[in-house]
Structure 1
Amino acid sequence: MGFLEKIGRFMPSVAEPKVHLNFKTRIMWTGIILLIFLVLGHIVVYGVSPTAMQQFQFLEMILGSKMGSIITLGIGPIVTASIILQLLVGSKIIPWDLHSHEGRYKFQTTQKLLTILFAVFEAFGYVVFGAIRPSTPDPTMLLIIITQLAAGGILVLFMDEVVSKWGIGSGVSLFIAAGVTTTIFVGAFNPCIAVEEASQNDFHIGGCYFGNAAESKIPFGLIPQALTYLQMSNIAEAGISVLPIIATILVFFIVIYTQAIRVEIPLAFGAFRGFARRWPLKFFYSSNMPVILTAALLANMQLIGLAFAGKSIPILGNFDERGTATGGLLYYLQTPNTPAVYLFTIILLACVFAAGIYLIYRKSDKPYHILLGSFVVGIVIAYLASMTFLTVPTTSDFLRFLGHSLFLVIGSIIFSIFWVSTSGMDAKSVSEQIEGMGMQIPGFRRDPRIIESVLNRYIPPLAVMGGLAVGLLAAVADLTGALGTGTGILLTVMIIYSLYEQISMQYAEDMHPAMRKFFKK
């Protein structure tokens, strides 16, 4: 017995269900884990000082974490282990055959072991480098905090395993979607004002203070903020407050539209003549995983850069008190966050999206000319609008967008290729799945090698083009200033859409007739 097999025997694991689980049971377990995850986000780690938490909140959405709580690490250890293992296995540095049961077992065991090790390592790094500061500089307190953070990271690992085996979808996706959705809801509707601006005369519930326009006390939520500015007759500021909400809606519809693009392979049942179906291959073939891994890699780089900068070692960049890069490599990997950039991008995207909608309902012999024309018109309108209401984006803004886009696009392409080869989505695995269902491609012999050769025309190009497109879409979406970040909305919409498809295909028969009718549409 090998080393990994010995470790796997003693490593704790969530048991597989021994009977078929219906939709009601799976949705119950998914809901229970989601509720536990949200509750854990409000349990503060014992002995932590809150002073250093604000500057690390950029990690919360991408890593599904809550700084200062038990789930401070979030899915960080899971995705970090996945990134390293996929790079090693995908590049054949570790020559495991993932088509075999033994290879998959080694991969899964190693990933779990690495996740546990990274939970301990990241907990140590968060405390030592100042991301999480103890209330007292006592070595015993440091050890207590590190233990709590590591335990939280390991707990998230097993919660992810429960969702994967007993629920619907994956815990990683569920936790990201929960974090982004919470951010969007709070960012849009939060009526509270800053505690520093509050007075004893302000009405308050608990720690939430409500101001009024007469005293120029502006709430955090963008919708209450816009209404307050309108009461103050400040139309320009009200418009700027509404921009992220418009961007959020626009990004939502663009992602929904692009999710529907797919290639369909015609198949026929070998044993029954006349029965046929199509095997869909999505344009975003590897779904949202490339962006999750690339964004997590960037978040880890920001965390490392911020930690070293706090020790006066700016190897990746310099940062201000809010944790925003002001120079160095990471400065050019972050999106510019100015109203001028938001307005410019929203207008440009709206013009291109409108042209796409037009082409759906009005067929044209020259669709590319229309899309190119809409792009040019969008740039002109966006430039004029920026000149009129704000300022034109600077050269530095353009360079930062270029750096951020290249990082997301190249990273998404690489992880898309590796994800396809390590998750059983390559041509060989899919051909074996099709052949096992007793199906074949019409006009060809029933041979998995023939199916594999046909699929090889589509799957590798889709892995590259899908990774490129999803990375570019995430980069452009980040420029809109959307609530929850463009990448966060992209991931959330794709996660929800994937859950919808999974439920409609696998669990529709277990539902109430009214719900079944909705999911079968």
Structure 2
Amino acid sequence: MSLRESLEPIFSRLPAVSSPEGHVHFKTKLMWTLGILMLYFILTNVPLFGLSAESIDLFESYRAFFAGASGSLMMLGIGPIVTASIVLQLLVGADVVKLDLSDPNDQALFQGAQKFLVIIMIILQTLPQMFGGFIQPSGSVAAALGVSTGVMSAILFVQIFIGGILILFMDEIISKWGIGSGVGLFIVAGVSQQIVTGIVNWVPGEDGLPVGIIPKWIYIIQNFGSEAISTDPMFLLLNAGILALITTVIIFLLVVYVESTRIEIPLAHSSVRGARGRYPVKLIYASVLPMILVRALQANLQLIGLVLHRSGLGFLGEYSGSTPISGFMYYLSPIRSPQDWIPSLVREAYTQYPVAPPATWQIGLHVLVDAIMLIGGGIIFAIFWIETTGMGPKPTAKKIFNSGMQIPGFRRNIGSIEKVMERYIPKVTVIGGAFIGFLTLVASLLGTIGGASGTGLLLAVSIVYRLYEDIASEQMMEMHPMMRSFFGKE
């Protein structure tokens, strides 16, 4: 018996959300989407019972796109889902696992394997943090219950595991019964929280100024003289948040513009004369979701380095808390703000660390490595993404053919349509992946409101734009049922 034949029964027995029988009305989809969103916000505010205040959140820097909340049931966020997707896409893309994702049976196997891997990743991302002493049980709670800290650790593991499983099925509910994807919805929710906090939060930060931009400006006007402000432009740009505000607005407008940039391939119906349409191939064809995969890869590499460091094996670099401050892992860490690459600000930050600050050339190398990972990784994961999600030339040609459409001037067969798609889709995928990687780098270098990170902001804006398009297409299908065949719906 082959490995595939052995695993298929296991994957088929995994619990799953039942698919709807027939068309789901727009209002029903909207209610499911809003309901899951409310449940997500509730779960992010349910604290882990028995968690020590001394615990360290390893993924604090990645919260914007891991869509989790420190110390809550949603502690892991979408991390296990994204990591499982990375592993599976690399295996399928490298032909280690041979699957034809245009075949429904192979698609079902892929989805089952992904769900199984998500469960494995929940365990693999939780246990190292517990054994490494990052997730610590509260001794006082254990004493009050009359149990050992080992039992308390087991209780914490069960809570985190349940939270990971819940977000897995919440994502599946959105995919089958809602609008868009659960992963995208949770990212938007998390980033939106950070941006709102970055605008109105009046709690003082490390520099003594309020965190929110509006309270910060009020505080500066009340406590700083106009001469002090005018003589220090860097104070206005960085401390007052002007640069972050400008970057946020520019990135928002630029992503909306780029999302609307597309090549439109003309289509005509084979049997209905005069029925014409266009198939859009967007510049960001694979969306910005491959950026999640790049940052998730970095996050998991940092997790490995940090666990090794805490185990006394610091050959990959030293850490302060969860921040890499030297060695190989320093170069692999993501750039998040000007404080990570402007030499004077880097030296100022390193006054609290037990090592010498990096030289200027080391800071430059750090930026270069992050640029290579974002741009190169954006291209690689964009290619894998379109192949594993059925957006490649062959699946797209099959979808157009099955809808009864054809490209004017070409024979009506899948091969002819596929040849035309091969002229555009691979090239646009590479260009779009590189461009979105570059845009993420620029946003990360300049910083954003609320510390949402360049990656988080790009993801949120792009996902909201695509959610708007999904809602528009759902409404169109509601009004014109014949459109469902083109969009691959029942």
Is 1:488 aligned with 2:479? no
> 3-state SS of the aligned residue for 2:281?
strand
Q: Which residue is equivalent to 1:444?
A: 410
**% same residue:** 41
Q: Classify 1:416/1:219 alpha carbon distance in 2 versus 1 (closer, same or farther; 3 Å).
A: same
Report the TM-score, using the length of structure 2 for normalisation: 0.85
Q: How far 1:61 moved relative to its partner?
A: 1.5
> In the alignment, which residue of structure 2 is the partner of 1:38?
41
Where does residue 365 of structure 1 map in the other structure? none
Distance in 1, matches of 2:342 and 2:431, equals: 26
| RMSD (CA atoms) | 2.4
Matching of residue 330 in structure 1 with residue 329 in structure 2 = yes
Q: Tell me which residue corresponds to 1:309.
A: 309
- Report which stretch shifted further, 233-242 or 116-125: 233-242
Aligned pairs for 1:18-29 within 5 A: 18-29=21-32
User: Structure 1's 35 and 316: CA in aligned 2 closer, same or farther, altered over 3 A?
Assistant: farther
Which amino acid in structure 2 is aligned with residue 148 of structure 1? Answer: Q
Please give the alpha-carbon distance, in whole angstroms, between the structure 1 residues aligned to 2:14 and 2:171.
Answer: 16
Residue in 1 that maps onto 2:442: 476
CA distance in 2: counterparts of 1:453 and 1:510, whole angstroms: 32
Tell me the distance in 2 between the aligned counterparts of 1:394 and 1:177: 36
Aligned residue in 2 for 1:229: 220
Deviation at 1:245, TM superposition (A): 1.7
Deviates more, 1:82-91 or 1:58-67: 58-67
2:298 partner amino acid: L
Shift in Å, 1:409 = 1.2
Show the 5 A alignment for 1:99-178: 99-136=102-139, 138-178=149-189
Letter in 1 for 2:48: V
Q: Which residue of 1 aligns with 2:251?
A: 251
CA distance in structure 2 between the aligned counterparts of 1:452 and 1:152, rounded to whole angstroms: 42
Partner residue in 1 for 2:398 = 432
- 1:348-370 deviation digits (Å, cap 9, x = unpaired): xxxxxxxxxxxxxxxxxxxxxxx
For 2:470, which of 492, 502, 512 is the aligned residue? Answer: 502
Q: How does 1:262-411 map to 2 (within 5 A)?
A: 262-321=262-321, 323-333=322-332, 334-335=334-335, 337-338=337-338, 394-411=360-377
Does 2:79 correspond to 1:76?
yes
Distance 1:458 1:303 in 2: 38
Residue equivalent to 1:209: none
> Residue 226 of structure 1 contacts residue 239 of structure 1 at CA under 8 Å; is this kept in 2?
no
- Structure 1 length normalisation: TM-score? 0.80
Aligned in 2, Cα 1:293/1:51: closer, same or farther, shift over 3 Å? same
Instruction: Give the deviation of 1:218 after TM superposition.
Output: 2.8
Runs of 4+ in structure 1 displaced over 4 angstroms?
A: 339-343, 508-511
1:501 partner amino acid:
E
Q: Which amino acid aligns with 1:228?
A: Y
Deviation of 1:303 (Å):
2.4
Alpha-carbon distance in structure 1 between the residues aligned to 2:199 and 2:162: 33
Partner residue in 2 for 1:207: none
Stretches of structure 1 that go unaligned for 5 or more consecutive residues are 198-215, 344-392, 512-521
Shift of 1:487: 0.7
Tell me the number of residue pairs that the alignment of Structure 1 and Structure 2 aligns: 442
One-letter amino acid matched to 2:87: I
Residue aligning to 1:375: none
Q: Which amino acid aligns with 2:423?
A: R
Distance 1:116 1:55, change over 3 A: closer
Matched to 1:500, the amino acid is: Y
* Deviation digits for residues 438-469 of structure 1 (CA, Å, limit 9, x no counterpart): 11111111111011111111111122111111
Hey, what does 1:180 align to over in structure 2?
191
Residues 22-57 of structure 1: CA deviation (Å, up to 9, x unaligned): 222111111111111111111111111122335641
Stretch moving more, 18-27 or 79-88:
18-27
* Distance change >3 Å, CA 65–CA 109, structure 1 → 2: same
Could you tell me which residue of structure 2 aligns to residue 16 of structure 1?
Answer: 19
How far residue 340 of structure 1 moved from its aligned partner, in angstroms, is 9.8
Paired amino acid for 2:138: S
- Structure 2: runs of 5 or more not aligned: 140-147, 344-358, 480-490
Residues 336/89 of structure 1: CA separation in 2 closer, same or farther (3 Å cut): closer
Give the superposition deviation at 1:508.
Answer: 4.6
Q: Identify the range of structure 1 (485-494 vs 240-249) with the bigger mean alpha-carbon deviation.
A: 240-249
C-alpha contact (below 8 Å) 1:336/1:397 kept by paired residues: no
Q: Distance in 1 between matches of 2:340 and 2:387?
A: 41
Answer yes or no: is the 8 Å Cα contact 2:12–2:112 preserved in 1: no
The 1:476–1:316 alpha-carbon spacing in structure 2 relative to 1, beyond 3 Å, is farther
